[in-house]
Amino acid sequence: MIHRIELIIKSHLSDPQGEKILQQLSAGQSFPITNIRTLSAYVFRSSKLNSSMVQELCDAVLTDPVLHENRVNQFFGDELDFDWYVEVGFLPGVTDNVGRTAQETFEAWLQSPLTQGEHVHSIRGFFFEGKLHQQDIELITNNFLMNDLIEHATILSKAEWSKHKAKLRTIPVVQLSDDIHVETFTFKSAAELMKLSQQRTLALNDAEAETILDYFAQETIQQQRLEAGIGKKPTDVELEVLAQTWSEHCKHKIFNANVNYEDTSTGQTERIESLYKTYVKGSTAKIREALGDNDWCISVFSDNAGVVRFNDDWHVVMKVETHNSPSALDPYGGALTGIVGVNRDVIGTGLGAEMVFNTNVFCFASPFYEKPLPPKLMHPQRIFEGVRLGVEHGGNKSGIPTVNGTLVFHERFLGKPLVFCGTGGIIPATINGQPSHQKKVEPGDIIVMVGGRIGKDGIHGATFSSEALHEGSPATAVQIGDPIVQRRMYDFLLQARDLGLYRCITDNGAGGLSSSVGEMAQLSGGCHLQLDKAPLKYPGLQPWEIFISEAQERMTVAIPSDKLDQFLQLSETMSVESTVMGEFNDSGILKATYQDKVVAFLDMEFLHEGVPPMELKAVWTPPAQQEPQLELPSDLTSILHTLLGRLNICSKERVVRQYDHEVQGGSVIKPLVGADNDGPSDAAVVRPVLNSLEGLAVANGICSRYSDIDTYHMMACSIDEAVRNIIAVGGSLEQIAGLDNFCWCDPIESPSNPDGAYKMAQLVRANKSLYDLTTIYGVPCISGKDSMKNDYRFGDIHIAIPPTVLFTAIGKINDIRKTITMDAKQPGDLIYLLGDTKNELGGSEYYDHLGYLGSNVPQVDTNSAKERYEKLSEAIASKWISSCHDCSDGGLAVALAETAFAGGLGMQLDISEVLAKSALRSDTFLFSESQSRFVVTIAPEHRTVFENLFATQSCYYLGEVSNTPDFVITENNTEMIHSSIITLKESWQATLR
């Protein structure tokens, strides 16, 4: 029978969750709600248990005797006063973590499994008191309580309750056909294959369709196929595997394309064979060559994450991923899987690394967006909250500190939010005598899948993310991660690694088994995968679905046959599911079978190297942006307050506090610093190996607003920002590694995308800039990612995001005790500006506030910046610097104000001299976003050594830290800005409090 257990918080106790929802609801439109009580329910089928046994179970394992009242197979709705009841449960097949945990504890208590194939389903219920209309409760349900892509809701009024309550005992079941079969296809032309491609979200292009048909038409191939017993015709399994492997997501076809670039302003043309090889890999190769014997890169661009040296015993591993498309559909699940997904990249690097920190950057439209929303888009506030919660669960529950990150706001992120998730890890330099970064698979090694089970989750995730968000975007692309299943797997794999029980490991991410097994098979030269062995969440999956499902929490390992028993035994002990799924070999063929029938038989070389390179056109015509003609504002103080409160500048404390940023005990510089633990840190510093005083600094640079002027400078500023943040806390150019994450809007010109060649040119320029900046600074990229279709299309509406690169920098710190923070420390300390300020308000927060873009985008003067960074590192290591803060969004005035209020101290500043030298108007000087600048404070006794060190640099004395709360900037004895640090801080904190 079907059992339903309900738990409710005792009526005399508070129900914080209900109160929180009530508070959220009263923040927006006011609904006449007087009370919300929450309920948790569990529904499951069992033939063995009767109601009294379930009651016993419920009392023993579910009910908190202090907090809860429970009912078994009875409804609280029969007893309580309410006007509306809403309950939300997952749609069939969606990962239900709470249900899974309940089931495990039920089965542990019963000491036997529930009926085979039965699951416990968790439900969240809400009793509303208040005279709400039907449409109000529907609005509340849809906008606050559930997401209809993954959940379903039942809404009952008090009047309907008795009649319809029986509905609340239904169980969501995945209804799939019993007919398991493999389809084969005959295509008369590439056009026919393209038609199928559209139907099945294969995202193939014309040239690829041709190449696939040519392959299957080859006589030798046909002969091989007949001998193998699969037949000449391609199967659905093969087409799906090819589509996944060749997807933009997996193959980075745009970055590997041949590009014909034309600059119409100079008339120059150029052919570039692969942006990736020319600029990204090219710059790293050049830097490594220059480093010579001191090359600290260990493994770059070849594994799931980049690997660099930390010290003699340890390497550092890092990867940053994007998870934009899924987060647009289900912000919570999308962000959560973004994190646990990038975590698996680190777990699956080399022989397997330990995770030591996360960093996240999100780009949204304003949460205060008030215009009508285009169809199918979620309100940015909802995306913001969902993503935030996803990170909270993904990071906190995994036990990885989220040490650094930021939020970036731009109205065009309405079309697609950007969700960047990064994870850093460490790995012993050698494991069981083997270099830990090398990957090997031997013929005869067993293919084992470890972790979660396979369902329809995330099918077509890789091909879906290679398309614009459109009407028919598949709901199955959405997945929910289970950080606890992953954590158990991770604990197990680290033990197995140290015992030498596997030879090779990789993660199951985009493309699922097709990509993990496909990639590992390259190392041995082939494989035989038995798809019918796969553990399934529910029956009825087709072989092709098993092969490409992106169900979460899975790793694939290659196990030497003599280690298999020990591996499986340890796995069972640690409550982790591991399944033998076949064998690696050197046949040159990727072969998959289902119940002994061959369902895929593909030449390995064709699968991995067969995708034809694209030919792309890139045409750069500098956009005709103008500088606005503005009067000097009369009240710069109020402008400073406004800038401090702008979304891109204001405090993100509410979000930061909800992330665990200290677990693992290595926290040295936190995201919030200063006298009251609330100042904005430039970079995080962590100690990944606790018994060493060496550390890592982590920072991000992202400058989307500059893209509309010139992506060359957008990229340069992003790199400079990340690097100068590392320098600001005490890192040095001696060892900083970079990670490039490109998020673009469709750069392929077509009738529906007429400015594709311009966007491609923007991409070329960003790559040229990446090459120039990284080689001058000596900051090699070690890993990267690109997400190229961040567009929203619906009918006539097209929203393209501003081309964005997140540049993440990770710097080695030789002694964490010499690092510093950005807050002013002592009254009497001297305040300096390092670096030149130019008329560079283009794309600035100041112009944006006034409604302008401008044209004078900040340009990085790399040679002077490099020298400044080297000298500043020396000064910080010599302990001459009390505080250091980089100037970024909002310019110098914002950096000064932040330094002052984070330290709880005032400042008396005089800008007359520097203003005279720079020949700038005061507002330009104060708000220009010129790069490579710092505000530093020093104790007076270091004045001489400090000024001597920077004698050849632009170094301007601005004033003194004071012990009053006054923040004063004067020019020729006139106060330009005068405010209290308390009110400045209030302006900075109020926006997103």
Partner 1 sequence: MPKTLILSGYGLNCEKETAYSCQLASGEEAEIIHTSQLIRGKISLNDYHFLIFIGGFLDGDDLGAGRVGANRFKYGTLGSSHLQLQDQLAEFVESGKLVLGICNGFQVLVKLGLLPASQKTIGLQEISLTSNHNSQFENRWVHLSVNQASKCIFTQNITSIYLPVRHGEGRIEGDQEQILKPLLENNQIPLQYCTPEGEITEEYPDNPNGSPWGIASLCNQQGNVMGLMPHPEAFHHYTNHPHWTRLPYQKEEGDGLLLFKNAYQYLA
Residues interacting with partner 1, by CB under 8 A?
Answer: 13-14, 16-17, 19-20, 60-62, 64-67, 97-98, 100-102, 104-105, 108-109, 392, 396-399, 482-484, 487-488, 491, 495, 573-575, 657-670, 672-675, 677, 687, 690-691, 816-817, 819-821, 823, 825, 903
Question: Look-up: residue for tokens 């494991």?
Answer: 431
Question: Which CB sits closer to partner 1, 823 or 840?
Answer: 823
Q: Is residue 249 annotated as part of the catalytic site, yes or no?
A: yes
Please write down the HEC assignment for all residues of 838-860. CCCCCCCHHHHHHCCCCCCCCCC
| Alpha helices, H only, 116-218 | 134-140, 158-164, 190-199, 206-217
Question: Which residue among 323, 460, 641, 885 is the active-site one?
Answer: 323
849 flagged as catalytic? no
Q: In whole angstroms, give the CA distance from residue 566 to residue 571.
A: 9
Asked if residue 325 lies in contact with residue 477, where contact means CB atoms within 8 angstroms, the answer is yes
Of 64 and 160, CB closest to partner 1: 64
Q: Residue 883 in contact with residue 675, Cβ under 8 Å?
A: no
- Nearest approach, Cβ of 363 to partner 1 (angstroms)? 23
The token duo for 376 is 């199918």
16 vs 229 by CB, closer to partner 1: 16
Pick between residue 282 and residue 903 the one whose CB is nearest to partner 1: 903
Which of 699, 692, 671 lies closest to 815, judged by CA? 692
CA 234, CA 200: separation in Å to the nearest integer? 15
Q: How far is the CB of 735 from partner 1 (least distance, A)?
A: 20
**What element of type H or E holds 495?**
helix 483-498
Helix 756-777 to helix 282-291 angle (10° resolution) is: 10
Say how far apart CA 586 and CA 874 lie, in whole Å: 54
Longest Cα–Cα distance of the chain, Å, equals 92
Residues 6+ apart with CB under 8 A from 113: 107
CB nearer to partner 1: pick between 399 and 500: 399
Beta strands in 118-167 (DSSP E): 121-130, 151-157
Nearer to partner 1 by Cβ, of 495 and 625: the residue is 495
Answer whether 405's CB lies under 8 Å from 484's CB. Answer: no
Distance, CA of 517 to CA of 582 (rounded, Å):
10
In the block, residue with structure tokens 């985009």: 510
Give 105 or 224: the residue with its C-beta nearer to partner 1.
Answer: 105
| Closer residue to partner 1, CB minimum distance, 438 or 878 | 878
CB of 57 to partner 1, least distance (A): 11
Query: Which one, 554 or 825, has the nearer CB to partner 1?
Result: 825
Q: Which of 3, 119, 121, 249 is catalytic?
A: 249
Q: How far is the CB of 550 from partner 1 (least distance, A)?
A: 21
In the numeric block, the tokens 């006063």 are attached to 81
Instruction: Report whether 499 contacts 483 (CB < 8 A).
Output: no
- Strand order from edge to edge, sheet including 354-364: 297-299, 306-309, 314-322, 418-428, 354-364, 402-409
Alpha helices in 200-347 (DSSP H): 206-217, 219-228, 236-245, 248-251, 275, 282-291, 324-329, 331-347
Residue 121 in tokens: 């389903």
Q: Least distance to partner 1 from the beta carbon of 127, Å?
A: 17
Cα 152–Cα 155–Cα 156 angle in degrees, nearest 5: 150
SS3 assignment, position 580: strand
Q: Report, in Å, the least distance between residue 694 CB and partner 1.
A: 12
CA atoms of 736 and 308, how far apart (whole Å):
10
CB of 728 to partner 1, least distance (A): 12
CB of 485 to partner 1, least distance (A): 9
CB of 659 to partner 1, least distance (A): 7
CB of 97 or CB of 783, closer to partner 1: 97
Let me know if 371 is exposed, middle or buried by CB neighbors in 10 A (0-12, 13-18, 19+). Answer: exposed
How near is the Cβ of 417 to partner 1 at its closest, in Å?
22
- Tokens 């194939």 locate to 117
Question: What region, left, alpha or beta, does residue 860 occupy, with left being phi > 0 and alpha being psi -120 to 50 degrees?
Answer: beta
Q: Which residues are catalytic?
A: 249, 323
